[in-house]
Structure 1
């Protein structure tokens, strides 16, 4: 599905009476989730255990 199709579907699924700000918020949320999934799929993430090992007592 193209980006345009995804945006149109998102807008179509929103209730009547939404504001432009509501639409922008939904697009921002969707974009943020998509970016997170891309990072996860690329393997550029560290586990909770790795963070604990790296930062140790400084976090707790």
Structure 2
């Protein structure tokens, strides 16, 4: 489920892009912002996994 972005938020995001930005640049910025916001929401909801657990799951050294 995607987070809601207001028109004001969208305008601010676009204003931060360089003058010669491409559609791909804009899509990347939207993706990065959405990913960060989802991660923050998961963290606040306690939906986290420790680094130690991830390392153990994939057989990586601690």
TM-score by length of 1: 0.76
Stretches of structure 1 lacking an aligned partner (at least 5 in a row): none
Quick one: higher RCO (CA 8 Å, sep 6+), 1 or 2? 2
CA RMSD of aligned residues (A): 2.1
- List 4+ stretches of structure 1 deviating above 2 A: none
Q: Deviations over 1:1-44 (max 9, x none)?
A: x6221111010111101011110111001000100000000001
Q: How many residues align?
A: 56
Unaligned runs of 5+ in 2: none
Corresponding position: 1:48 with 2:38: no
Answer 1 or 2: which has greater helix percent: 1
Q: TM-score, normalised by structure 2?
A: 0.74
Q: Is residue 28 of structure 2 the alignment partner of residue 28 of structure 1?
A: no
Separation in structure 1 between the aligned mates of residue 45 and residue 15 of structure 2, nearest angstrom: 31
